[in-house]
């Protein structure tokens, strides 16, 4: 993704700033996403790598922060089930069907160190301009819904 080089004054902008309509713009933080997950009633944890995760029976969703100010938030679902490497091309065709017919989440195979094929789906947004807390809550809720919907669809196909 093309990213402009931030001006020096961009880097010093406070994390919270007024929105023209009177609300407050925020950028996502681990603490804020944890609050949102609490509001959804979801049990979450920080793993050994410092990543925020929510685990379900069929999958886990991790939240990652990228960018110079960690303003890019990504939710990535890892299917718990793994597959033999010989199935990778068949799985890729299945995921191509999802990616071709659905707007999101983006789905793909991975090949972790254990030599088994894994499946991921992810959604990502750059909050450099900020968002209201309500917008972040809505986004996180939709991501949870669509990632779990993908997981259910995938289980039905397999």
Give the domain range for residue 61. Answer: 18-80+119-157
89, part of any domain: no
Give me the pLDDT at residue 2, please. Answer: 37
* Residue 81 CA neighbour count, 13 Å, CB half: 10
Give me the pLDDT at residue 20, please. Answer: 53
Residue pLDDT, tens place only, 47-92? 999 899 999 999 999 999 999 989 999 999 999 999 999 999 999 9
CA 31 to chain CA centroid, Å, is 16
39, part of any domain: yes
Q: Which residues of the chain have pLDDT under 50?
A: 1-14
Number of domains in the chain: 1
9, part of any domain: no
- Give the CATH number for residue 138: 3.30.1460
Task: Give the residue among 75, 55, 54 at the shortest CA–CA distance from 64.
Answer: 75
Residues 53 and 62 sit within 8 Å (Cβ to Cβ): yes
pTM of the model as a whole: 0.82
The side-by-side arrangement of strands in the sheet containing 118-126 is 44-46, 52-55, 59-66, 72-79, 118-126, 106-110
């Amino acid at each position: 993704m093309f990213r402009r080089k931030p001006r020096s004054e961009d880097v010093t902008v406070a994390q919270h700033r007024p929105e023209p309509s009177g609300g407050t713009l925020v950028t996502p933080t681990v603490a804020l996403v944890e609050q949102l997950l609490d509001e959804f009633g979801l049990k979450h944890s920080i793993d050994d790598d410092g990543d925020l995760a929510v685990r379900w029976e069929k999958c886990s969703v991790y939240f990652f922060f990228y960018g110079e100010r960690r303003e890019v938030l990504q939710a990535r679902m890892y299917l718990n089930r793994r597959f033999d490497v010989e199935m990778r091309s068949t799985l890729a065709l299945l995921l191509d069907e999802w990616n071709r017919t659905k707007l999101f989440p983006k789905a793909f195979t991975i090949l972790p160190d254990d030599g088994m094929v894994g499946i991921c789906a992810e959604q990502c947004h750059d909050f450099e301009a900020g968002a209201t807390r309500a917008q972040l809550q809505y986004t996180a809720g939709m991501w949870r819904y669509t990632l779990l919907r993908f997981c259910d669809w995938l289980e039905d196909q397999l």
